[in-house]
Amino acid sequence: MLNINNNLHNLGLYNTAYVTGWDGIYFNNSLFGALKFVAVLFQPGLVQDSTPQVFITGYTISILVALALLTAYVVLIEKKFWIKVTLLVCALNLFPYVSGDYKLLHLFIPLFLFINQAEPGRLDRLILILFGLLLIPKDYFHLSVLPEASVAVLLNPVLMLGLMAVVIASSCKAEKYKRGTGLSR
C-alpha cells in the first residue's frame, strides 16, 4: 500500500509540474504542448501562471472524441495494416498531455511497414517526406520566455496531423479508384 500511495503522490507531482505547469513543454510533441506553445507565443506572461483546469478539461474531452473517431476508423473502415499502425502511433504521440521527442522513435515501425507495402500509391512521396521531416531534429527557433522550448514543439504535432490526413486521404483515394475500376482485394 505504501508503494501505491507513493506512486500516486509522484503522479500528482508529475501532473503539477508537467501538465498544469510549464516543464512539460520542453521537447514535447503532443497537441497539448503545441497549444501551450502557441499560447505562450501570443501571451508570454502565461508562463507565470498554471494551465487553467478548463483548458485541460476541454482538451481531454476533445481528445477522447478524436480517439473514439480514430478508433472507429481504424477498426471499422481501414484495411491496410501499415495505415492502421501509422494512425495509432501518431495518436500515441499526439494525444497525451506530455509526449517526449524520444517517442518519435515509434515512427520507425510504421515507416518500415510503409516502405515494405505491396501496393504503391499516388501520395507515397509526400508520405515519405512527412516521415522524414518527423525524424529529423528541429531545434532551430527557441522561445525567449521558455528557452528550452523550440519550434519542434509546434512543428512535430503539425507534421503528424498532416501525416495522418495524407495517409487517410491516400487510403480513401485508393478505395475510390478500386471501386471505380471494378478492382477488388
The answer for residues whose C-beta is within 8 angstroms of residue 24's C-beta and 6 or more apart is 17, 18, 32, 33, 97, 98
What is the pLDDT tens value at each position of the chain, 185 positions in all? 999 999 999 999 988 888 888 888 888 999 998 998 888 888 877 777 777 888 899 999 999 999 999 999 999 999 999 999 999 999 999 999 999 889 999 999 999 999 998 788 888 999 999 999 999 988 888 877 778 888 899 999 999 999 999 999 988 876 665 666 655 54
Distance of CA 133 to the CA centre of its chain: 14
**Residue 135 identity:** L
SS3 content of the chain, % helix, strand, coil (to 5): 75, 0, 25
The answer for residues whose C-beta is within 8 angstroms of residue 172's C-beta and 6 or more apart is none
SS3 string, 82-114, reads HHHHHHHHHHHHHCCCCCEHHHHHHHHHHHHHH
Please, what is the angle between helix 108-115 and helix 124-135, to 10°? 150
* Domain ranges, residue 18: 2-181
Asked whether the beta carbons of 20 and 36 are under 8 A apart, the reply is: no
The CB-based long-range contact list for 81-84 (8 Å cut-off, 24+ gap) reads 81/113, 82/110, 82/113, 82/114, 82/116, 82/117, 83/167, 83/168, 83/170, 83/171
Question: Shortest CA distance to 93 belongs to which of 32, 39, 18?
Answer: 32
Structural domain count of the chain: 1
pTM of the model: 0.85
| Phi, psi values for residue 41, rounded to 5° | -60, -40
